Amino acid sequence: MVKKEEIRKKVLSLREAMEKGEWDQKTRNITKRVTSHPLFLQAEEIYCYMDFRGEVGTRRIIEKAWEMNKKVAIPKTVGKTMEFYYISSFRETHPGRFGILEPDERRPASGEEGLILMPGVAFDHELHRIGYGGGFYDRYLEAHTGLLSMALAFECQVLPAIPQEEYDIRPRVLVTEMRIETRYMEGEKEE
């Protein structure tokens, strides 16, 4: 099987080659799917990444969450840890590590329950995920088991199969501009 680093290089180049108009349209389609999904509608708290380097855009998702009176938290990384902090306006953010918008650290999020929207480089149909190599989301989800997880990706990021490690945590749902894939937990059945 192809190595993770080779997959990262290939998929990131595909994603970064996307033209602005195509990125806008695909992001709008994904935003509609996310904001109408039952997990999003039912969640009182949304934990959401701030998009960077061609990732699926999250600004409109965050704005929709605020319109629906949901609490929104975004991540900040320090060393090998990642924590989420509530924001109620984009004015409460500033460029941080790598230029990614980060929150003020005034209001730490509990991480007890809600929906976490996570990025990734590549996914497969079993919802295995290749991230950027830091393990931030795997560690955060391992420590915050009450959160439901949804990954956002463009269709070009979904491959037939990708390598996985035992510590990799798969998202519950994957949303692209063309589909929603759900990983059912033991004891659940498809609707």
Is residue 65 situated within a structural domain? yes
Q: At 186, is the pLDDT very low, low, confident or very high (cuts 50, 70, 90)? A: low
Helix (H) or strand (E) holding 159: strand 158-159
Give the chain's domain count.
1
Cα separation, 160 vs 168, in Å, equals 17
Integer angstrom CA distances of residue 13 from 53, 122, 133: 10, 12, 16
The whole-number average pLDDT for the span 111-131 is: 95
Torsion over CA: 181, 132, 9, 18 (sign): positive
Which pLDDT does position 185 carry in this prediction?
63
Which pLDDT does position 190 carry in this prediction?
46
Is residue 186 situated within a structural domain? no
Is residue 59 situated within a structural domain? yes
Is residue 187 situated within a structural domain? no
The whole-number average pLDDT for the span 57-74 is: 98
Integer angstrom CA distances of residue 97 from 29, 75, 82, 100, 164: 29, 11, 12, 6, 27
Give the model confidence (pLDDT) of 83-120 as tens digits.
999 999 999 999 987 789 999 889 999 999 999 999 99
pTM of structure: 0.93
Give the model confidence (pLDDT) of 141-185 as tens digits.
999 999 999 999 999 999 999 998 888 899 999 999 999 999 876
The whole-number average pLDDT for the span 23-34 is: 98
Is residue 178 situated within a structural domain? no
Q: What distance, in Å, lies between the first and last C-alpha atoms of the chain?
A: 33
| Residue ranges making up the domain that contains 149 | 4-170
Is residue 92 situated within a structural domain? yes
Is residue 57 situated within a structural domain? yes
CA dihedral 77, 83, 84, 89 (to 10 degrees): -40
Is residue 43 situated within a structural domain? yes
Cα separation, 186 vs 158, in Å, equals 24
CATH number of domain containing 81: 3.40.50.10420
